[in-house]
Structure 1
């Protein structure tokens, strides 16, 4: 069995961060979301992986390499434009050949892995197996309708009046028959080849399309609140590890990771948190569910429930919460009068200021 991982797309809901960075490489607990998916594939016994890449191909290649560090053999498949999930299958046909494969959306975050999904497919005689989970607001997702034996009898894309509360998670397993399906459908109203249309084609032709339910936690990490929630989930599972330097004036409570080369001075750390390698925390409070990337500086600042990416600095800020701060960002306290906020903000940003 092979895998097809989708790491293209533009990540519009995480702009401006994704103007210059792949959304699949935004970190959760200081590890890119994409890496969790690659590790899940490896743990399920899959080693041959094709990665669909788009405008951020160079960044993805640099981060993942040839896959050896994950125990994988990686093949990169360029997609000239985001033309739909079924289009990804279409352009990957040569790589996939006549083998069944997992299709994994690289910005999906799934705790618990996919081993049970892969094992269930191998043990059965299905032509496709779709991962599902119950959601509170199914109208915002692709929704599946099931028959009495768990077979999928219908799919709807973001329906106004959903027939079920079962959302399609971004992990699928297909037999080679899916190639005929993606060649048979036409672009949707938004100009894309939809994987839901290809699955519907399979159902209409009498192929066996079965459901499998998420056994762990799942999130599509396309929005800020989703990233912060995934960060919280992973940080709740970490084990304390102080590999850096913490002075005697600092206070540590709970599960705290201070990576090698990091320095903590005269500060309060309340876990679960991760302080990245070679970062420096001085006279600051770093509160729960916060991950600070590598080579960052945090001084005279209070921050919690946030993600700070590599090589950023925060100095003299009284309180930061529920925030995602990108790479090489400077956040400083303004001095002098008048008491004004001075901002340089890129397109599609969101700023909340309490006066």
Structure 2
């Protein structure tokens, strides 16, 4: 069995962060979200992985390498434009051959991994297996309609009037039957080859398509709100440790991981939280559900329920919460005279200013 991991796409909902970084590499608890998926694939006993890449190919290659750090053998497959999930299967035909495979969206996060799902598929081998979960906003997802016996009868991509609240989770399992399906469909109104259309083709041709409804934790980390929530969830599982230096005037409360070379003075850290390697924190408060990446500097600040990326600097700001701070960002107070906010913001930025 092989795996196909989708790591292309523009990540428009995470702009401006994704203007300069692949969305799959935005860190959750100081580890790129893509790595959690690769680890789940390895844990399921799969070693051959095709990674679909696009404009951020260089960055993905640099981060993942040949896959050996995960126990994987990675092959990179170029998708020149984001033409849909079914198109990704189409261009991966030679790599996949006639093997069964799991398709995993690289910006999705599933607590507990996929081992049980993969083991069940290996045993029963339906032509397709989809994961479903109940969502409050089904218009934003592919949606499945089940009959009274729980069998999949119809799928629809981002419907205006959903027939259920069961959204497709970004993990799919297929036999080689999917290859005929992706060749048989035409682009949707979005100009993409939709995987939902390909699965619907399998249903219409009387192939065996099954579903599993999961009640565990799943998130599509495509926007800031979901990124912060996934970060909070992962931090709830960390173990406390200290590989950096903490002075006698600092108070550490709860599960806090302080990585190598970090220096903390005169501060209060309340877990769960992670302080990255070589980060310097002084005279500050770091609250629960906060990840501070490596090489950051935080002075005279309060930061809570936030993700701070590599090399960022925050100094003298009263309180920052529910925020995603990009790499090498500088946050400082505005001059008192004249009283004004001075902003240098990239495209698609969102700012809330406390008056």
Report the TM range for the smaller structure's normalisation. Answer: over 0.9
- 3-state SS of the aligned residue for 2:238? coil
Whether the aligned pair in 2 keeps the contact of 1:298 and 1:315 (CA below 8 Å) is yes
| 1:172-212 Cα distance to aligned partner (Å, 9 max, x none) | 00000101111111111111111011001100111000001
1:290 counterpart = 2:290: yes
2:349 alignment counterpart: 349
Matches within 5 A, 1:69-218: 69-218=69-218
2:21 alignment counterpart: 21
Distance 2:237 2:304 in 1: 17
Distance 2:106 2:215 in 1: 19
Whether the aligned pair in 2 keeps the contact of 1:29 and 1:235 (CA below 8 Å) is yes
Distance 1:330 1:214 in 2: 41
| 1:289-324 Cα distance to aligned partner (Å, 9 max, x none) | 000000000001111000000011101111000000
| 1:40-80 Cα distance to aligned partner (Å, 9 max, x none) | 00011111000000000000000000001001000000110
Shift of 1:110: 0.8
1:6 alignment counterpart: 6
RMSD, aligned α-carbons: 0.9
| 1:322-343 Cα distance to aligned partner (Å, 9 max, x none) | 0000111111123341121111
Q: What TM-score, normalized by structure 2, do the two folds share?
A: 0.98
Whether the aligned pair in 2 keeps the contact of 1:112 and 1:215 (CA below 8 Å) is no
- 3-state SS of the aligned residue for 2:229? helix
1:270 alignment counterpart: 270
Matches within 5 A, 1:208-247: 208-247=208-247
Q: What TM-score, normalized by structure 1, do the two folds share?
A: 0.98
Shift of 1:217: 0.5
Task: For structure 2, list consecutive stretches of 5 or more residues without a partner in the other structure.
Answer: none
- 3-state SS of the aligned residue for 2:335? coil
Task: For structure 1, list consecutive stretches of 5 or more residues without a partner in the other structure.
Answer: none
Distance 1:76 1:314 in 2: 37
- 3-state SS of the aligned residue for 1:288? coil
Distance 2:165 2:62 in 1: 39
- 3-state SS of the aligned residue for 1:99? coil
